[in-house]
Amino acid sequence: MPIWAYYGGMLQERLLDGRLKLRHLTLIAAIAEHGSLVATARALHITQPVVTRGLHEVEEILGVSLFERGPRGVTPTIFGDSFVTHARSIIAQLRQAGGQIDLLTRAEIGRVRVGTHLAGANVALPRAITSLKREHPRLTVEVQEATPDLLYDALLSGETDLIIGRLRADTPEHLHQERLYLEPIHLVARADHPAHQLRAPRLAQLTDYPWIFPVAQTALRSELEASFVAEGLAIPTNRIECTSILIVRELLHSTDVIAALPHLIVADDDRIGAIKTNLPAINRSVGVTYPADMPLVPAAQTLLTHLRKASADLEH
């Protein structure tokens, strides 16, 4: 093995054995900047012997001289020039890391991943994101839409920070639920649908029309099925099972389908109306779900604050 290769390996080990401290890097960079030990001591508010001792410690670790002493101060050697460059780079990266952490702590930058299902918060979430981005424009909000079971898996695995949507009784362990607001569920159809001409129709009068049902993994699907069972009916065979609110809305606009949807989804859509049915009231508690045994990252905590505010406005 060439002696330079052996020496280089030994030197790398000495640099990482714990003797070299951050104060050493700061000291060497300051000596190069001020050009004398006296000026360095003055700038760092320490004594000259402390500067001299620190320089000797670094040179002993490296096994080379970093500065040539002269009557007018010190001048970096070829080794000193190289080491000073790296020392300044490390100090700059640490400053950047500190700045990044500060911004992350204040939720000025970073990413929050929120899961939702079937427009589970079609009004509250957009309002919360809008107000959040107004205050924290560099904070990225990633919205993930999926069925509740997939969202819970993502939350437990750390792929999602929080979920907003209908609260469920079968929430997995280690997850905390926080109620935000209560929203009723209505049977709805297009504004000129024949069902609107019926006075308090029962489900049996509506089963001949096509229906849109939530997918099987949702609480609303179970409650809707229970309503049919309570009237001694099977669920409609002419049905579509869909989780996309965009598709649901388009089908409601253009066909005779009937769907069970949260009030806020259709409240501002004059092309869709609630059917005056005597369907037992199905209300949904909308809220957020997040891990119970670990704190939310600052970005997620900030979004939660805006969600609480947006939801409070909805209930007034």
**Over the stretch 47-90, which tens digit does the pLDDT of each residue have?**
999 999 999 999 999 989 999 988 888 999 999 999 999 999 88
38, 48 contact by CB (below 8 A): yes
pTM of the model: 0.63
Beta strands in 59-161 (DSSP E): 67-70, 73-76, 110-116, 139-145
Q: Say what the pLDDT of residue 241 is.
A: 93
Distance from C-alpha of 114 to C-alpha of 157, rounded to nearest angstrom: 14
Q: Say what the pLDDT of residue 5 is.
A: 44
264, 314 contact by CB (below 8 A): yes
Task: Report the chain's C-alpha Rg in angstroms.
Answer: 33
Domain extent listing, the chain: 3-105, 110-315
124, 311 contact by CB (below 8 A): yes
Q: Is domain 3-105 in CATH 1.10.10.10, yes or no?
A: yes
Q: Where are the alpha helices (DSSP H) in 136-218?
A: 148-157
214, 226 contact by CB (below 8 A): no
Percent of the chain with pLDDT over 70: 91
Which residue ranges in the chain fall short of pLDDT 50? 1-7
> Topology of domain 110-315, per CATH?
D-Maltodextrin-Binding Protein; domain 2 (3.40.190)
Dihedral sign from CA coordinates of 311, 312, 313, 314: positive
